[in-house]
Amino acid sequence: MGTTFITGGNAGLGFEAAKCLAAKKQNLVLAGRNPSTVQKAASELHARFGVQVTTVQLDLSSLASVRSAAKDVHRLIAEGKIEHLDALLCNAGAQFRGPISYSKDGYEETFATNYLGHFLLVNLLLDCLTKHGRVVFTASGTHDPETMDGKMVGKAIEPNAFALANEGKQNKKASSAGVRYATSKLCTLLFCYELNRRLIKRGSNLASIAFDPGLIPETGLTRTAPAFAAWLLRTRGMKWLLQKLGVTIGSLAFSGNALARIAVDPEFTEISGQYLQSNLGRLTTSKSSKASYDEQKAVRLWEDAATLVKLQLTETAEILR
Ligand SMILES: NC(=O)c1ccc[n+]([C@@H]2O[C@H](COP(=O)([O-])OP(=O)(O)OC[C@H]3O[C@@H](n4cnc5c(N)ncnc54)[C@H](OP(=O)(O)O)[C@@H]3O)[C@@H](O)[C@H]2O)c1
């Protein structure tokens, strides 16, 4: 029995993955912003699978909340209430349609939630992993403008952390919600690959892996979309059309199980630095966008993100100092 920490494990893809992990007898740490929904998911998982499920309060759009959640995890390990983590799943994510909004720290909310929150969390929690632990990032095919997934939402823009954090300020026109989402996922991939390079340089056995679950309209991701568009996406006819157009198509059951497998199954021990995609019931290693492999941009993004989250050397996991 090991332990997996998961963000967004109370709903959608994350909850499906949590069920599969619990079925594999993994203990779980569910981290989420709404204590009652997270507790409800935890109670269901414990009752159904008999594993230990611990909950941690975490709002990824608040840097203070990320720091407090990381402290809780360190304390729970120190007190022997949970074990070191086999896997850290950076899975939570959201799209923000409608008027542009900003996090408590004043950063554009898509970038703050999907990228900055996880960037800080990983920096603070890496020491909590077991020697061969895995960090798995839930990415999205939308980050790649050359694919149909990317064309559907709009082309990801330059991964400039300061510009992305301040999108739409000073009366400047903001990018569309789709472009902000795709760009946050490009940043996620740049982070995943840069983390892998840093881990290798330091002789670490930890793994950093990216996973695109494919389009799954049944989750809550479309909650800010117009009701008609959300309904249309779930129809058989639209799924058929999107598949014909070449969109990456996932499903809750297959993609959730795939995420759980990547997190802990022995067959995925040697895939650090890779990008896996779930498409039409198959899980394959794929190439992400050209921009996602730009090492200079990845280093710059990391350094700028560290400035934005005010990352201190003393709080950073030892392996990354
Ligand atoms: N569904 C798709 O078509 C698709 C395709 C590609 C990639 N993805 C990615 O898959 C991941 C899971 O999304 P999903 O499709 O399962 O959507 P979902 O059903 O909406 O689940 C999203 C999860 O993220 C959590 N979350 C959102 N904002 C948060 C915050 N500020 N702090 C902490 N937790 C937060 C949500 O918590 P609450 O319950 O509190 O809202 C929820 O548990 C995301 O990274 C998404 O970008 C999805």
Does ligand 1 have an atom closer than 6 angstroms to the CB of 140? Answer: yes
What is the rounded average pLDDT of the residues 229-234?
A: 86
Q: What is the pLDDT of residue 69?
A: 98
Does ligand 1 have an atom closer than 6 angstroms to the CB of 251? Answer: no
* Residue identifier of the C-alpha nearest atom 23 of ligand 1: 8
Please give the structure tokens belonging to residue 198: 């840093």
Where is 247: in which H helix or E strand?
none
- Helix ranges restricted to H, the chain: 12-23, 35-49, 63-78, 109-110, 117-125, 148-153, 161-165, 177-201, 227-234, 236-245, 252-264, 295-308
CA distance 100 to 14: 26
Does ligand 1 have an atom closer than 6 angstroms to the CB of 150? Answer: no
* Residue identifier of the C-alpha nearest atom 17 of ligand 1: 221
Q: What is the pLDDT of residue 228?
A: 85
- Give me ligand 1 centre to Cα 223, in Å: 10
Structural domains of the chain in order of their starting residue, each with its CATH number = 3-320 (3.40.50.720)
23 in Cβ contact with 151 (< 8 Å): no
Q: What is the pLDDT of residue 6?
A: 98
Question: What is this structure's pTM?
Answer: 0.98
Q: What is the pLDDT of residue 309?
A: 98
Whether the predicted pLDDT of 115 surpasses 90: yes
Mean pLDDT of the chain: 96
Q: What is the pLDDT of residue 194?
A: 98
Whether the predicted pLDDT of 232 surpasses 90: no
Does ligand 1 have an atom closer than 6 angstroms to the CB of 101? Answer: no
The amino acid at residue 79 is E
- Ligand 1 mutation target, pool 6, 30, 221, most atoms within 8 A of CB: 221
31 in Cβ contact with 9 (< 8 Å): yes
Whether the predicted pLDDT of 113 surpasses 90: yes
pLDDT-based confidence at 233, cuts 50/70/90? confident
pLDDT-based confidence at 229, cuts 50/70/90? confident
Q: What is the pLDDT of residue 193?
A: 98
Does ligand 1 have an atom closer than 6 angstroms to the CB of 145? Answer: no
Residue 95's closest CA among 217, 244, 208?
217
Does ligand 1 have an atom closer than 6 angstroms to the CB of 216? Answer: yes
Whether the predicted pLDDT of 185 surpasses 90: yes
- Give me ligand 1 centre to Cα 14, in Å: 7
3-class state of residue 288 by DSSP: coil
* Ligand 1 atom nearest to CA at 37: 39
Longest Cα–Cα distance in the chain:
54
Residue 191's closest CA among 69, 73, 70, 320?
320
Render pLDDT for 290-308 as a digit per residue (tens, 0 to 9).
999 999 999 999 999 999 9
- Give me ligand 1 centre to Cα 93, in Å: 4
pLDDT-based confidence at 226, cuts 50/70/90? confident
Q: What is the pLDDT of residue 207?
A: 98
Render pLDDT for 135-173 as a digit per residue (tens, 0 to 9).
999 999 999 999 999 999 999 999 999 999 999 999 899
CA distance 158 to 133: 31
- Give me ligand 1 centre to Cα 31, in Å: 12
Whether the predicted pLDDT of 96 surpasses 90: yes
Render pLDDT for 42-60 as a digit per residue (tens, 0 to 9).
999 999 999 999 999 999 9
Q: What is the pLDDT of residue 227?
A: 85
What's the length of the chain? 321
Q: What is the pLDDT of residue 142?
A: 98
- Taken in order 261, 263, 266, 271, the sign of the CA dihedral is positive
Residue 6's closest CA among 199, 200, 256?
256
Render pLDDT for 238-279 as a digit per residue (tens, 0 to 9).
989 999 999 999 999 999 999 999 999 999 999 999 999 999
Does ligand 1 have an atom closer than 6 angstroms to the CB of 32? Answer: yes
- Give me ligand 1 centre to Cα 10, in Å: 9
* Ligand 1 atom nearest to CA at 9: 43
40 in Cβ contact with 9 (< 8 Å): no
- Give me ligand 1 centre to Cα 94, in Å: 5
Does ligand 1 have an atom closer than 6 angstroms to the CB of 59? Answer: yes
- Give me ligand 1 centre to Cα 18, in Å: 13
